[in-house]
Amino acid sequence: MSVELQLKGVSRHWGGTPVLRDLSLRVQPGERIALIGPSGAGKSTLIRLMAGALRATAGTIDVDGTPLDRMGWRALQRHRARCRIVEQQNLLVPQATVHRNVLAGLLPHWPWWRTLAAALWPVQAERVAALLQSLDMGAHQWALAGALSGGQMQRVAIARALVSEPDILLADEPTASLDPHTAKAVTRLITEQARLRGMTLVFCTHWFDIARQDCTRVIGLRRGEILFDCAPQDATEARLDQLYAGSNERL
């Protein structure tokens, strides 16, 4: 099932300081949105608000027409489970196999006895194998996560996010700690997986060449406000210059 998000006049403050100001936007199912802008613009905060992991200070976020702040505990958990975030820190368990790390993405959906069974013997081996194969990691299913390279670990983190087949994938600069070559490959992989699976993607990235090619929409965020929200071909150099004015983060 796909999800539509609508933000209406959303603001978020941290300790009294406004970080997002009066944002309104609609995210439709299957869109691939590159969220770009300098550090501190509020991108991570926006991603967490969309995932229901943070509350807005003002305004509302509707999920398929229901405001997040009026949802009961169960509905909120359901929304959170339909969203998956891939972050810069992959938070894998290095002493566990790649297989176990990927399965961890299913734990929020499982009853306790299933979690216990998964701890005792390998379950869902074929499902995980197929997923890893699609991420070019098929050979590493039984390796320890701690033995992998940074790029491979990030692929495992992507598999962990995808294994529960979320409706919305939120990627928060997941390649920031990787070398440029690997970062580009992983960025491509994320946009490609979103396209193949028809998932909604909101992707904070500095790789806007790839974003422009592989995303359906680009949102430029600066100082907590939307500077532009346009089709990729309209994210012109002039707009990017304005977005990153005074910052040296533009790649």
For position 217 contacting ligand ADP by CB under 6 A, the verdict is no
Minimum CB separation of residue 34 from ligand ADP in Å reads 13
Question: What's the rounded Cα separation, in Å, for the pair 190 and 166?
Answer: 13
Is the CB of 66 or the CB of 89 nearer to ligand ADP?
Answer: 89
Nearest to 211 by CA among 181, 234, 188, 236: 188
Beta bridge partners of 20: 12
* Burial class (CB within 10 angstroms; exposed 0-12, middle 13-18, buried 19+) of 81: middle
Q: Whose Cβ is closer to ligand ADP: residue 188's or residue 223's?
A: 223
The span from the CA of 40 to the CA of 77, in Å, is 28
Give the closest residue to 154 by CA, choosing from 127, 186, 128. 186
Q: How far is the CB of 21 from ligand ADP (least distance, A)?
A: 12
Q: Is there binding between residue 198 and ligand ADP (CB under 6 A)? A: no
Kindly state whether residue 43 participates in binding ligand ADP, applying the rule CB under 6 A.
yes
Closer to ligand ADP by CB, 166 or 224: give it. 224
Q: Choose the binding region for ligand ADP from 43-51, 82-90, 140-148, 190-198 (rule: CB under 6 A).
A: 43-51
CB of 77 to ligand ADP, least distance (A): 22
Question: Is residue 45 at the binding interface for ligand ADP, with CB under 6 A as the rule?
Answer: yes
Work out how close the CB of 54 gets to ligand ADP at its nearest, in angstroms, rounded to a whole number. 9
Residue 82 in contact with residue 166, Cβ under 8 Å? yes
Q: Do 75 and 66 contact (CB within 8 A), yes or no?
A: yes
Least Å distance between CB 214 and ligand ADP? 20
| Beta bridge mates, 5 | 27, 63
Residues 12-41 that bind ligand ADP (CB under 6 A): 14-15, 19, 37, 39-41
Closest approach of Cβ 147 to ligand ADP, in Å?
Answer: 30
**Cβ proximity to ligand ADP, 118 vs 178, nearer residue:** 178
Q: Which among 11-19, 59-67, 95-103, 177-185 is the span making contact with ligand ADP, rule CB under 6 A?
A: 11-19
Paired tokens of 90: 């992959």
As to burial, measured by CB atoms within 10 angstroms (0-12 exposed, 13-18 middle, 19+ buried), residue 109 is exposed
Q: Is 177 exposed, middle or buried (0-12, 13-18, 19+ CB in 10 A)?
A: middle
- Nearest distance from C-beta of residue 248 to ligand ADP, angstroms: 14
Measured from the CB atom, is 14 or 142 closer to ligand ADP?
14
Beta bridge partners of 61: 7
Is residue 242 within the footprint of ligand ADP (CB under 6 A)?
Answer: no
**Which residues lie near ligand ADP (CB under 6 A)?**
14-15, 19, 37, 39-45
